[in-house]
């Protein structure tokens, strides 16, 4: 199980505050697991690691094997909770230079997460001589960004491949019953997987929303779910050692003590999109009723050479949650050079992982001494099992934390303000007044 390390935050937390916050976190735990809290109808994600149906797993495997070796590219269309989990998982699992085409599985690219015309025209150009398929993910089936991307790419497909072949090249993931995408899937006979009605977008990575792209990219969905299942077993215990309960308590103490920002830091480029996924999870779950920590992300050591100055010495409004991961088995060792002109001979024989860990330790000490409390979460390595655990851990902690804050963790009413304005400006029928 991944480890939560609190050594570097303890000096900033009073014993009384901790006791009170833990009591509140226990109460939030009861509210969450009973499903009786506000938004409690949307807690289906809690049981996904044990309830995911054999049919969903089999469907994912079937699509993956159907497309293996037959398609060059699969475009995954989606935005927000229908995009970030899969993007994060695939970045984490893939070889850093996988786009060079070293694998047998189709190359996965994403669309529908912006309205950029440049991006879409580049994508159409890129697909021109490729045999490609589409995975279209939208719970509501009405979101404008993925809706437009789907329309453009479907029309492109129809022209190139004809109706029957296009049908075989499209798989949808959408609400079990409702929405435009469900209706289209039925009308045109697309293979379609379901998102359970009681699972919201940002809590959906362990459903077909995350599993299908992961399987098509050639990664192990059983291990991914297995890791989440192990995390669930551990986190469903109401104990004072439960890392999700402790983490929710600590971040609420930080907030009450005047911190406004939680910085999620990582030390691996492969975890960049974990930060993006975390930003959505926490911002949409907690940022309401004029409350909530603002989540942001930093990629270390890159950002130590840019915003590191502010963290160390700017306004004292943030605390840091670092996600640490060991590297894979292959070691990269600093070699001896002929002249030591770069002055790096003192590192000869050391692994890059060791040097990265020392950078992390040095940063933690520096930031803590600069009054930026630090929490860190350690996983053994970046793989399906550990990422499954991590996703579940953060979902669980986030829901607890939002309940402690007194907000509904599962709605996002403010997102509608943008959507309604956009519809109005574009003249969508029914939105023009």
Catalogue the active-site residues. Answer: 284, 305, 419
Q: What angle do CA 206, 208, 209 make, to 5 degrees?
A: 80
For residue 156, what are the β-bridge partners?
Answer: none
- Residue 362 Cβ vs ligand PA5, minimum distance, rounded to whole Å: 36
Binds ligand PA5 (CB under 6 A): choice among 94, 138, 386, 408 = 138
State in angstroms the smallest separation of the CB of 333 from ligand PA5. Answer: 43
Burial 324-333 (b: 16+ CB within 10 A, else e): bbebeeeeee
Is residue 409 near ligand PA5 by the rule CB under 6 A? no
- Say how far apart CA 307 and CA 312 lie, in whole Å: 9
Told to check if 43 binds ligand PA5 by CB under 6 A, we report no
Residue closer to ligand PA5 (CB basis): 12 or 391? 391
Burial class (CB in 10 A: 0-12, 13-18, 19+), 72: middle
Is position 143 an interface residue for ligand PA5 (rule: CB under 6 A)? yes
Among the listed residues 139, 232, 364, 367, the single contact to ligand PA5 using CB under 6 A: 139
Contacts of ligand PA5 in 69-108 (CB under 6 A):
79-82
284 is a contact residue toward ligand PA5 (CB under 6 A): yes
- Euclidean distance between CA atoms 191 and 167, whole angstroms: 8
Cis peptide before 179 (omega within 30 of 0): no
Of the two residues 81 and 106, which places its CB atom closer to ligand PA5 in the complex? 81
Ranges within 144-173 binding ligand PA5 (CB under 6 A): 146
**Interface with ligand PA5, residue 367, by CB under 6 A:** no
Site string for ligand PA5, 189-228 (x = CB under 6 A): -----------xxx--------------------------
Among residues 85 and 106, whose Cβ is nearest to ligand PA5?
Answer: 85
Distance in Å, CB of 417 to ligand PA5, minimum: 13
Contact pick of 6, 131, 140, 327 for ligand PA5 (by CB under 6 A): 140
Query: If we measure between CA atoms, which residue out of 16, 20, 6 comes closest to residue 404?
Result: 20
**Number of residues near ligand PA5 (by CB under 6 A):** 14
Q: With contacts defined by CB under 6 A, name the span among 50-58, 133-141, 335-343, 365-373 that binds ligand PA5.
A: 133-141
Q: How far is the CB of 137 from ligand PA5 (least distance, A)?
A: 6
Q: Which positions touch ligand PA5 (CB under 6 A)?
A: 79-82, 138-140, 143, 146, 200-202, 284, 412
């Amino acid at each position: 199980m991944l480890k939560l390390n609190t050594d570097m935050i303890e000096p900033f937390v009073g014993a009384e505050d901790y006791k009170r916050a833990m009591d509140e976190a226990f109460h939030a735990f009861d509210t969450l697991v009973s499903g009786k809290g506000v938004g409690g109808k949307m807690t289906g994600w809690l049981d996904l690691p044990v309830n995911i149906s054999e049919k969903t797993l089999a469907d994912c495997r079937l699509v993956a094997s159907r497309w293996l070796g037959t398609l060059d590219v699969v475009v995954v269309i989606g935005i927000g909770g229908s995009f970030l989990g899969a993007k994060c998982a695939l970045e984490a699992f893939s070889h850093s230079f996988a786009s060079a085409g070293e694998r047998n599985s189709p190359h996965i690219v994403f669309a529908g997460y912006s309205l950029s015309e440049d991006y879409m025209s580049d994508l159409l150009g890129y697909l021109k001589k490729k045999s490609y398929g589409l995975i279209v993910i939208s719970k509501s089936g009405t979101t404008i960004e993925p809706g437009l991307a789907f329309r453009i790419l479907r029309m492109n497909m129809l022209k190139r491949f004809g109706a029957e072949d296009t049908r075989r090249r499209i798989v949808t993931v959408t609400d079990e019953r409702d929405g435009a995408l469900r209706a289209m899937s039925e009308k045109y006979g697309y293979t379609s997987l379901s998102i359970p009605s009681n699972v919201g977008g940002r809590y959906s990575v362990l459903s077909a929303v995350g599993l299908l792209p992961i399987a098509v990219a050639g990664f192990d969905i059983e291990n991914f779910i297995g890791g989440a299942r192990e995390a669930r077993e551990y986190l469903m215990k109401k104990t004072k050692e439960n890392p999700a309960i402790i983490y929710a308590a600590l971040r609420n103490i930080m907030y009450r003590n005047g911190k406004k920002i939680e910085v999620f830091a990582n030390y691996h480029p492969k975890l960049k999109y974990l930060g993006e996924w975390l930003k959505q999870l926490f911002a949409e779950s907690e940022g309401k009723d004029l409350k909530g920590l603002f989540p942001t992300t930093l990629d270390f050591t890159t950002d130590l050479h840019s915003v590191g100055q502010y963290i160390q010495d700017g306004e004292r409004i943030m605390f840091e949650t670092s996600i640490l991961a060991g590297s894979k088995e292959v070691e990269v060792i600093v070699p001896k050079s002929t002249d030591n002109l770069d002055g790096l001979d003192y590192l000869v024989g050391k692994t890059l992982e060791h040097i990265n860990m020392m950078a992390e330790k040095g940063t933690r000490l520096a930031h803590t001494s600069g009054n930026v409390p630090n929490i860190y979460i350690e996983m053994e390595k970046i793989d399906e099992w550990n990422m499954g655990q991590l996703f579940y851990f953060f979902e669980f902690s986030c829901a607890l934390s939002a309940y402690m804050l007194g907000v509904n963790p599962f709605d996002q009413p403010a997102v509608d303000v943008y959507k309604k304005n956009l519809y109005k400006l574009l003249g969508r029928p029914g939105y023009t007044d």
